[in-house]
Amino acid sequence: MSGTEEPLVEADRLAAELDHADPPTLLDVRWRLAGPPGRDDYAAGHLPGAVFVDLDTDLCGPPGAAGRHPLPDPAALQAALRAAGIRAGHPVVVYDGGDGVAAARAWWTLRWAGHRPVRLLHGGFPAWVAAGLPVSTEVPAPSPGDVPVRPGELPVLDTGAAAALAAAGSGVLLDVRAAARYRGETEPIDPVAGHVPGAVSLPAGGYVDPDGRFPAAAVLRDRFAAAGVTDAAPVGAYCGSGVTAAQAVLALHLAGRPDAALYVGSWSNWVADPSRPVATGG
């Protein structure tokens, strides 16, 4: 990928890199929307040397009108990343429980914060274990890092921009939640069901493989093209709270669209204001 770090790394390649004198910094970001906490999984076993980073409290701001997983305060994010040992310009690898969702949001957050050398372990912790690679319960004490947080490297949509993109015939706003949530038939989390008027439904299973792995770039391009994403038209993505949509943005990067924008607040932010329009049906 011209001008950017390759976003994915396979388990065997990562294992070889960890044998180097100055290996990548590993972040364990295992997380489940409904719990239990990912820290429990980390305590039971993790990649040797990995530091646990909490998606909810370290990589996102407090929930509220901005959404359930809003952008973090830059100073707070910088403190969390430095506490995890992240150094300026030094490679970072993030991993989760295998579906790639939390790891993609961690990847996106570090890239948004200006840290370019960050990759996602393809297949997450299960891929590491399946490769027969070692697991540890030892909790490392990393030396404090010096990474600066400079927000704004990746594009972000606010409610106005999301509405404009959805309404524009020349752009596409992807809704990557389950189709029933998009249609307004059910809403298990947020207080209002439906979707942003003009948004296009493309559930995550429509572009990522069932095991959470990303298909080849050509396959991704075809899957996004079927949803109306063209080479030149603006494209953005949202979900319930900006976590699964970060995975969509990563997939769009892999498909050759590094300009893809994330609506971080997503549906949880959209419905925080009852005056915003809501569409239902498919």
Instruction: Please state the three-class secondary structure of 62-125 as a single string.
Output: CCECCECCCCCCHHHHHHHHHHCCCCCCCCEEEECCCCCHHHHHHHHHHHHCCCCCEEEECCHH
Contact of 45 with 95, CB cutoff 8 Å:
no
- Output the CA torsion 4→6→7→9 (10° steps): -160
d(CA 30, CA 119): 15
pLDDT in tens, 98-150: 999 999 999 999 999 999 999 999 999 999 999 999 999 999 999 999 999 99
Q: Which two tokens stand for residue 252?
A: 């769009």
Q: How far is CA 94 from the centre of its chain?
A: 11
Residue 115: left (phi > 0), alpha (psi -120 to 50), or beta?
beta
Domain range 8-130, its CATH number among 3.20.20.70, 1.10.530.10, 1.10.3720.10, 3.40.250.10: 3.40.250.10
* pLDDT by position in tens, the chain (length 282): 333 478 999 999 999 999 999 999 999 999 998 888 899 999 999 999 999 999 999 999 999 999 999 999 999 999 999 999 999 999 999 999 999 999 999 999 999 999 999 999 999 999 999 999 999 999 999 999 999 999 999 999 999 999 999 998 889 999 999 999 999 999 999 999 999 999 999 999 999 998 889 999 999 999 999 999 988 889 999 999 999 999 999 999 999 999 999 999 999 999 999 999 999 998
Backbone angles phi, psi at 132, to 5 degrees: 75, 25
* Residues annotated as catalytic (active site), given as ranges: 239
Q: In what order do the strands lie in the sheet with 25-28?
A: 8-9, 118-121, 92-95, 25-28, 51-52
Q: Is 22 helix (H, G, I), strand (E, B) or coil?
A: coil
What DSSP letter does each residue of 133-185 carry, written as one string? ---B-----PPP--PPP---SS-EE-HHHHHHHHH-TT-EEEE-S-HHHHHTS
Same CATH topology for 8-130 and 156-270?
Answer: yes
User: What CATH code would you report for 156-270?
Assistant: 3.40.250.10
The domain spans of the chain are 8-130, 156-270
Q: How far is CA 208 from the centre of its chain?
A: 13
